[in-house]
């Protein structure tokens, strides 16, 4: 748990340096006070934090504040997100051991002990200014760590209100409040970088600039990659079921999730049927002229227009100049032929879904591969199908961490009650996405493990057992 003697942040002010040093000192002091807490005590603390966000009036209040502060998403869905992610994560955390003996001797002479990683610097995005900080806090506290949250400046007020509730929950159980802290306002790039330098572990969610800064800080870091999920609808899919799931997923919280579908790849023989099912579920099929209006307004100087991303459908439609009928839809379909240079190939963080027509399944696999090469490699893809061989092929051929089958991506990718993924708001994308983890962020990333190793009966195979097949085929020369 060593802090660098000299900061690499050359232009930081004395006030910024002092503020971060004080946060780190208080965090370490809180950890010393919490040291020795057994699993029951740790679990009680995690549960208290979970209730501080899951509690209905708090979930609603923080959802309302998040939308008011950032203009991103919608209140109803943020309430669901605040509660569902918290509840699911708590379920996962209550089923595992993380302090003291976490795995006894199973006959191999080895006992595993869980220990804290130290002070965690948590970089959190404006898209989820309550849910993501609490999610990371629960995982950090499960390992008896302290955490300092560096929120997006746009979400600081919401995240600060969240942290106040969390600290009150800690005080209620007698745990040190300084186990959870937040960078003071105004959050600056310098302060965030100073925090990353002085922490023991960084967990960065949000912009890829933040993730790269975390990896270059000199502190062990876990970053997550960009989403840009392509989903196939193949010839055997239940089109109505697929459309309903895609609609529910795409429109949830106005498409703020990195797991939201950004492209559909529909096989030619069911293309019009699938489009019809999507329209019945609430989609608006954009004309060539409407597509041009969206292209002109959704991006400004090559960047997504913050006035249009994650907005309600009627607001988005009015903002790009679509007519009133389009504004009554729930989301918008833009049909494309694949072009790596087209902005519609990227993540759109809005209620716009790009649609590609595939000649056959081989072409669909190629399109998914091409889309992910533009953005989102490593993150995930999905398929709606009744053909069991098709998802297997995607898993074997596509460089992604997750392939979801007949699921709504937003609800399944970050953990669900009907799949085996850990609940999280931070999805690792492996080396394909420039990340150090290829799974959903979970409690295992917040503990160090000591291995107590005793001698057991020798397990030494013969040379023949190990080399026999090789010798038989190639000899010993």
55-110 confidence digits (pLDDT tens)? 999 999 999 999 999 999 999 999 999 999 999 999 999 999 999 999 999 999 99
77-114 as b/e, with b when 16 or more CB fall inside 10 Å? bbbbbbbbbbebbbebbeeebbbeebeeeeeeeebbbb
Q: How confident is the model at residue 7 (pLDDT cuts 50, 70, 90)?
A: low
With respect to CATH, is domain 14-224+441-452 assigned 3.40.605.10? yes
Say which DSSP state 252 is in: G
| Catalytic hit among 247, 258, 286, 429 | 258
Strand partners, 137: none
Q: How confident is the model at residue 209 (pLDDT cuts 50, 70, 90)?
A: confident
Q: Catalytic site residue 381?
A: no
Residue 396, SS3? helix
Predicted pLDDT of residue 21: 97
Tens digit of pLDDT for each residue in 139-180? Answer: 999 999 999 999 999 999 999 999 999 999 999 999 999 999
Predicted pLDDT of residue 4: 44
Q: Nearest 5 degrees, angle CA 62-CA 64-CA 66?
A: 65
Please provide residue 419's backbone torsions phi and psi, each rounded to the nearest 5 degrees. Answer: -145, 175
Q: How confident is the model at residue 8 (pLDDT cuts 50, 70, 90)?
A: low
Average pLDDT, the chain: 96
Residue range 345-364: average pLDDT?
97
Tens digit of pLDDT for each residue in 383-415? Answer: 999 999 999 999 999 999 999 999 999 999 999
Where does residue 304 rank: exposed (0-12), middle (13-18), buried (19+ CB within 10 A)?
A: middle
Predicted pLDDT of residue 11: 80
- 320 pLDDT exceeds 60? yes
Predicted pLDDT of residue 107: 94
Residue 84, SS3? helix
Please provide residue 332's backbone torsions phi and psi, each rounded to the nearest 5 degrees. Answer: -130, 130
Asked if the bond preceding 103 is cis, omega within 30° of 0, the reply is no
Tens digit of pLDDT for each residue in 13-56? Answer: 899 999 999 999 999 999 999 999 999 999 999 999 999 999 99
Share of the chain above pLDDT 70, in %: 98
Residue range 230-238: average pLDDT?
98
229-414: CATH architecture: 3-Layer(aba) Sandwich (3.40)
Predicted pLDDT of residue 206: 82
- 3 pLDDT exceeds 90? no
Residue range 275-298: average pLDDT?
98
Sheet holding 201-204, edge to edge: 180-182, 146-151, 119-124, 201-204, 221-223
Q: How confident is the model at residue 263 (pLDDT cuts 50, 70, 90)?
A: very high
Same fold, 14-224+441-452 and 229-414: no
Domain edges within the chain: 14-224+441-452, 229-414
The two beta strands, 331-336 and 201-204, are: unpaired
CA distances from 467 to 458, 459, 471, 477 (A): 19, 16, 6, 13
Q: What is the rounded distance in angstroms from the CA atom of residue 338 to the CA atom of residue 392?
A: 24
């Amino acid at each position: 748990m060593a802090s660098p003697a000299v900061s690499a942040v050359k232009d930081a002010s004395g006030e910024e340096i002092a503020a971060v040093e004080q946060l780190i000192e208080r965090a370490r002091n809180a950890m010393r006070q919490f040291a020795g807490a057994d699993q029951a005590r740790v679990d009680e603390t995690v549960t208290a934090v979970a209730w501080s966000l899951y509690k209905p009036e708090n979930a609603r209040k923080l959802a309302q504040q998040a939308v008011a502060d950032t203009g991103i998403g919608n209140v109803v869905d943020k309430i669901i997100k605040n509660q569902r992610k918290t509840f699911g994560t708590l379920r996962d955390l209550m089923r595992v051991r993380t302090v003291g003996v976490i795995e006894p001797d199973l006959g191999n002479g080895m006992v595993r002990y869980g220990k804290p990683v130290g002070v965690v610097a948590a970089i959190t995005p404006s898209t989820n200014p309550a849910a993501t900080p609490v999610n990371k806090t629960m995982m950090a506290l499960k390992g008896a760590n302290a955490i300092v949250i560096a929120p997006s400046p746009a979400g600081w007020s919401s995240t600060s209100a969240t942290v106040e509730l969390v600290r009150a929950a800690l005080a209620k159980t007698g745990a040190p409040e300084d186990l959870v802290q937040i960078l003071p306002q105004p959050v600056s790039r310098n302060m965030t970088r100073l925090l990353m330098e002085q922490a023991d572990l960084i967990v960065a969610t949000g912009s890829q600039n933040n993730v790269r800064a975390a990896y270059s800080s000199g502190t062990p870091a876990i970053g997550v990659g960009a989403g840009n999920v392509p989903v196939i609808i193949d010839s055997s899919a239940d089109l109505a079921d697929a459309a309903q799931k895609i609609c529910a997923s795409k429109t949830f919280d106005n498409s703020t999730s990195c797991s939201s579908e950004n492209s559909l790849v529909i096989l030619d023989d069911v293309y019009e049927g699938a489009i019809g099912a999507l329209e019945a579920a609430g989609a608006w099929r954009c004309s060539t002229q409407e597509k041009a209006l969206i292209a002109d307004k959704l991006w400004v100087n090559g960047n997504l227009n913050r006035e249009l991303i994650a907005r309600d459908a009627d607001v988005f439609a009015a903002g790009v100049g679509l007519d009133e009928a389009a504004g009554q839809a729930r989301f918008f379909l833009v049909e494309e032929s694949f072009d790596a240079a087209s902005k519609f190939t990227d993540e759109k963080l809005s209620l716009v879904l790009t649609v590609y027509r595939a000649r056959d399944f081989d072409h669909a696999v190629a399109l998914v591969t091409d889309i992910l090469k533009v953005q989102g490699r490593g993150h995930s893809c999905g398929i709606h199908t009744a053909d069991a061989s098709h998802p297997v092929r995607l898993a074997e051929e596509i460089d992604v961490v997750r392939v979801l089958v007949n699921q709504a991506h937003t609800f399944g990718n970050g953990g669900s009650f009907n799949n085996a993924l850990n609940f999280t708001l931070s999805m690792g994308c492996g080396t394909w996405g420039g990340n150090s983890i290829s799974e959903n962020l979970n409690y295992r990333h917040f503990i160090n493990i000591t291995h107590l190793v005793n001698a057991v009966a020798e397990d030494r195979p013969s040379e023949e057992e190990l080399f026999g097949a090789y010798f038989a085929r190639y000899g010993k020369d």
